[in-house]
Homo-oligomer: A and B are copies of this chain.
Amino acid sequence: MSTINDVAEKAGVSVTTVSRVLNNRGYISEKTREKVYRTMEELNYQPNEIARSLLRKQSNIIGLIIPDISHPFFGEFANAAEYYAYQNGCKLLLCNSQLDPAKEREYIEMMKRHRVDGIIMGSHTLDVEVYRNLPYPVVTLDRQIEGIPFVASDNERGGELAAQLLIDKGCRKLAHICGNLQLDLLANRRTSGFERVASENGATFMTLQTNMDVFDQQEYERIISGLLTEHPDIDGVFATSDIIAAFVIKWCRKLGKQVPGQVRIVGYDDVRMASWATPGITTVKQPIREMGRLAVELIRKQMDEEDFSMENLLPVTLVERETT
């Protein structure tokens, strides 16, 4: 059976170079990479990553626990996290919790057994204690837990921007559709930012809660149709996701209300769907790519015992399209 030394000798490169190609670390020219791969194939060299993990005590696997990868926000976040994990020589293990505490718990146990290098935690069904006692680095998305770094967009500012835009456009009776305010999530600061700016400007507003983590079309439709029929004078809606904003458009159309003529709508996230929709959805843009990059960096920095910041609040921007 061939060894790494055989590969290096036959390819005419150093063992370090072969190791770098294997670990996808450091700069390697495309030509060298190709040569190493070809030689590995010629010699039928099979590095055993599992055995190497045991020696290195490092698996090069990052676990990503999210509610649902098919939700556009989490899909785009996972896409970015996977990209930057790969740049760091790591793979991403995908775990959809579906907000099922038993499944989330089992995944956390599985990851202990697999000796993952760290977990990016975007699901929030378990008590904080579970996350605080894990034997590997953790980064949370949109949730603040003492002793664990988090990545979030500046939700408070996002809520302010949405309220201010609707008021500047002349809306006087606002509605805000938010997530579950009982959960201790940073995303709920969108609500406080929105309500403060609305109050300061003397606008009437109402706030409706829904569960935004997992897509529940029926619940969205029930809340939105109820809102628009019971309060026909609503002229501005701030939805806590672009998907919910899309359903507000749908119901405005069903009820014969012009968007943005009679009802103006602002979403949150700026997932790509916001620009595909007709009319294009005005939204508060979270820097999703940067959030994915930073989450991976925070795992790596904890592993390497480098300095890192516990609170990572990334700036949001307003993207104006056709719903305002």
Docked Cα-Cα span, A250 to B321, in Å, equals 13
Within 8 A of B (CB), among A231-281: 243, 246-247, 249-250, 253, 272-273, 275-280
Q: Do B278 and A278 touch (CB < 8 A)?
A: yes
Within 8 A of B (CB), among A190-248: 215, 217, 243, 246-247
Task: Select A69's contact among B61, B79, B86, B110, beta carbons within 8 Å.
Answer: B79
Docked Cα-Cα span, A86 to B97, in Å, equals 11
Q: Do B105 and A37 touch (CB < 8 A)?
A: yes
Q: Do B109 and A37 touch (CB < 8 A)?
A: yes
Complex contacts, A33 vs chain B, CB 8 Å: 102
Q: Do A96 and B70 touch (CB < 8 A)?
A: no
Query: For residue A24, which residue of chain B has the nearest CB?
Result: B106
Docked Cα-Cα span, A37 to B217, in Å, equals 35
The answer to whether A215 and B50 touch (CB under 8 A), given A94-B93, A278-B253, is no
Docked Cα-Cα span, A275 to B273, in Å, equals 12
Task: Select A76's contact among B46, B53, B70, B109, beta carbons within 8 Å.
Answer: B70
Q: Do A48 and B78 touch (CB < 8 A)?
A: no
- What is the 8 Å Cβ interface bit string for chain A, positions 5-40, against chain B (1 contact, 0 not)? 000000000000000001010000010010001001
A172 at the interface (CB under 8 A from B): no
The answer to whether A277 and B278 touch (CB under 8 A), given A51-B54, A93-B94, A110-B49, is yes
Docked Cα-Cα span, A54 to B273, in Å, equals 44
- What is the 8 Å Cβ interface bit string for chain A, positions 60-84, against chain B (1 contact, 0 not)? 0100100011111001101100110
Query: For residue A41, which residue of chain B has the nearest CB?
Result: B133
Complex contacts, A279 vs chain B, CB 8 Å: 253
- Enumerate 19 A-B pairs (CB-CB under 8 Å) in ascending A order: A22-B109, A37-B105, A46-B113, A49-B113, A50-B59, A50-B115, A71-B75, A82-B94, A82-B96, A83-B96, A86-B103, A91-B93, A92-B94, A215-B272, A246-B277, A247-B276, A250-B280, A273-B276, A277-B277
Interface residues of chain A, those whose CB is within 8 Å of chain B, are 22, 24, 30, 33, 37, 40, 46-54, 59, 61, 64, 68-72, 75-76, 78-79, 82-83, 86, 91-96, 98, 102-103, 105-106, 109-110, 112-115, 135, 215, 217, 243, 246-247, 249-250, 253, 272-273, 275-280
